A and B are shown apart, each in its own frame.
Chain A
């Protein structure tokens, strides 16, 4: 008899998105397939807008591989986030993934990369302090 898994509560948690002040912290727990990556991208952009987040940290430390689709999707996420006023920091890239990415000439754009969550939060603080200063002096034009 074919069993149908109810979608939702019994599925293992693949991604968690936590709010930390004006930042979103995204942890990817298992490898995501293409459609899940696209959905994550959409959900994150929505949340950035709803919560007026200033920064996103994407933690990839549990991943063993990162393919070109994921790299492109994360770049698009970061670009869209930037358009909505948030900077993106990616953390937790392992040595193996870093080497594989450079060998395949994969790279991120619109993204800062840091070693881990602690570094990522420090970087976000630096990056968003600047834009808060700019906002408070009421200048119309940003060069970044």
Chain B
């Protein structure tokens, strides 16, 4: 009986962990066919897996063609998380979506180069703004500010 009480508590804890994970990696549509996935905090394997699943479901739901994954808030990644990110990019591609990764810190940039991640598969842009602008270009959006002279 004591065993099942512990099991039940563990189950609740796992469930709450899952909820926290899900809330912490929101997949946001900012334009038609364009998703943004802002990541802050420590990115470990479990979170990377969870984020991949959420992203792919988001790609399906929103019929996204471009995804911007922003890791400005991620201090560093280890080799397995870096590979997990590459897998996320590949999996998104299988579902018809291109991925742009933005906000790489210099630590992460160095880690990726040192590990030898296949960077030809990954499109990266310095910051989120640049990433969104490129995504919009790819989708054929043009942003015009009121008052700017046209032609």
A residues in contact (CB < 8 Å) with B: 91, 93-95, 97-99, 101-103, 107-108, 113-116, 119
Contact = CB atoms under 8 A, between A and B. Distances in A.
Nearest to B54: A95
B63 A98 contact: no
Interface of B: 52-53, 56-57, 59-60, 63, 65, 87-88, 90-97
14 contacts: A91-B96, A93-B95, A95-B53, A95-B91, A98-B56, A99-B91, A102-B87, A102-B90, A108-B94, A113-B93, A113-B96, A116-B63, A119-B63, A119-B65
Contacts of B60: 94-95, 115
A40 to B, nearest CB: 20
Contacts of A116: 63, 96
Nearest to B49: A99
A102 B59 contact: no
Nearest to A114: B96
A94 B57 CA distance: 9
Nearest to A112: B96
Contact of B97 (A91, A108, A115): A115
A102 B96 contact: no
Contacts of B52: 99
Given A95-B56, A115-B63, A119-B63, A101 B91 contact: yes
A64 B49 CA distance: 19
B94 A101 contact: yes
